[in-house]
Amino acid sequence: MVVIAVPPGPGLRHRRTSAIVNARSPMSTVSTVRGLVEVDELGQALMHEHIVNINAEISRDQPELSWGGDRQLALEAIASKLRDVKAAGIDTIVDATAIGHGRDIAALREINAMVDLNIIVSTGIYTYDDLPFYFQYRAPADASARDVMTEIFVRDIRDGIAGTDVRAAIIKVATDLKGVTPNIERILRAAARAHRETGAPITTHTQVSERNGLDQQRIFKEEGVDLTRVIIGHSGDSTDLDYLRELMDAGSMIGADRFGLYMAPHFPSFEERIETLVRLIEAGYGDRIVLSHDYTAHSDWFLENPLPVASEWSFTHVSSAVIPALRERGVTEEQIDALLVHNPRRVFAAQGAY
């Protein structure tokens, strides 16, 4: 796909992302694969992407059946895609890949060594209901007991992952067609508690047909979570303005985070997604929306990589098509900066346990 450079705008003031800093005030920095980065230096950010989904046991035990058979080749192809992202003016990607989804910190480090980009890593558990036996048999005895899930999320955020100093900076959870099953409720509560213990924000997967972003908010609220610290993800799959306003009126940001996925009848078209976004911005909600593609650069879920689901689906579609379309509809540079720079920055600037 053709990458169109983003014209200079106020957002580009923040492009000095090589400024990886040593530990200064924890109030002003966020953990990335390459270390701490000042929140003000995050620049334009895509808030929900996937760099690799790799099953750890298969890649460990049958490597020739993983990574398309050639890990190094796959890593280089991914790095090349991420260089296109940087060339499009994006400085930061939030990798929303949690436990159960195929998070691979070693791979992310190798990839990030090949490209100058901030990659923010997630903790959390990705499932629509089923849990590995490891978690099943460790269900907390009662509501006051500390869940091993919380323990893992907090360790990922405070200590690092997989014996590295790469620390998660956001907590990812999912609710899909099955809704808030007992397992999903357990994960949501564990995420809420890890959030309150660490201050790391929460980002979610939802199924908009079930409007279950509202269910997530209800449980987070019961756990005392400040809903402004939560991004209700995949909300851009909905064109129901009442639902979207309700999520944002409760304080949360929403993710218009699946640009490029336009397959009818499950997903709105490009035009419908843009129309929804423009109407929400016009209604004053532009300070509560973040953008992304939910793209997956390499996944071992499928035989083909990249997944050939939609020709527009890539890490650069927001930069090359969505932003120009918003400009055409009269959205200002200031409003675009809110979506790409200021809202993401606010997500990570709010810190501290409570």
The answer to whether 312 and 333 are in contact (CB under 8 A) is: no
Restricted to residues 64-103, the positions that interact with Zn ion (CB under 5 A) are 96
Number of residues that bind Zn ion (CB under 5 A): 2
The answer to whether 324 and 4 are in contact (CB under 8 A) is: yes
Residue number with CB closer to Zn ion (11 or 255): 255
Name the residue number minimizing CB distance to Zn ion: 294
Does position 294 interact with Zn ion (CB under 5 A)? The reply is yes
Q: How far is CA 7 from CA 10, 12, 324, in A?
A: 10, 9, 10
Residue number with CB closer to Zn ion (93 or 96): 96
| Rounded Cα–Cα distance for residues 346 and 275 (Å) | 25
Residue number with CB closer to Zn ion (48 or 346): 48
For residue 231, the minimal CB distance to Zn ion (Å) is: 12
Residue number with CB closer to Zn ion (17 or 97): 97
- Binding segment (CB under 5 A) for Zn ion, from list 34-42, 160-168, 174-182, 292-300: 292-300
- Binding segment (CB under 5 A) for Zn ion, from list 14-22, 224-232, 273-281, 289-297: 289-297
Count of Cβ atoms closer than 10 Å to residue 22 Cβ: 7
Phi-psi region of 64 (alpha: psi -120 to 50; beta: other; left: phi over 0): alpha
Beta strands 35-38; 29-32: pairing state: antiparallel
Query: CA neighbours within 13 Å on the CB side: how many for 262?
Result: 14
For residue 48, the minimal CB distance to Zn ion (Å) is: 6
For residue 205, the minimal CB distance to Zn ion (Å) is: 6
Residue number with CB closer to Zn ion (38 or 294): 294
The answer to whether 5 and 88 are in contact (CB under 8 A) is: yes
Restricted to residues 104-163, the positions that interact with Zn ion (CB under 5 A) are none
Residue number with CB closer to Zn ion (47 or 274): 47
Residue number with CB closer to Zn ion (170 or 278): 170
From the list 280, 229, 228, 235, the residue with the least C-alpha distance to 255 is 235
For residue 238, the minimal CB distance to Zn ion (Å) is: 16
Residue number with CB closer to Zn ion (122 or 351): 122
For residue 170, the minimal CB distance to Zn ion (Å) is: 12
Does position 49 interact with Zn ion (CB under 5 A)? The reply is no
From the list 46, 154, 164, 40, the residue with the least C-alpha distance to 113 is 164
Does position 41 interact with Zn ion (CB under 5 A)? The reply is no
For residue 53, the minimal CB distance to Zn ion (Å) is: 9
CA angle centred on 113, ends 111 and 119, rounded to 5°: 65
Count of Cβ atoms closer than 10 Å to residue 263 Cβ: 10
Question: How far separated are the first and last CA of the chain, in Å rounded?
Answer: 45
For residue 232, the minimal CB distance to Zn ion (Å) is: 13
- Binding segment (CB under 5 A) for Zn ion, from list 7-15, 138-146, 190-198, 291-299: 291-299
For residue 84, the minimal CB distance to Zn ion (Å) is: 20
DSSP symbol at 147: P
Contacts with Zn ion by CB under 5 A lie at: 96, 294
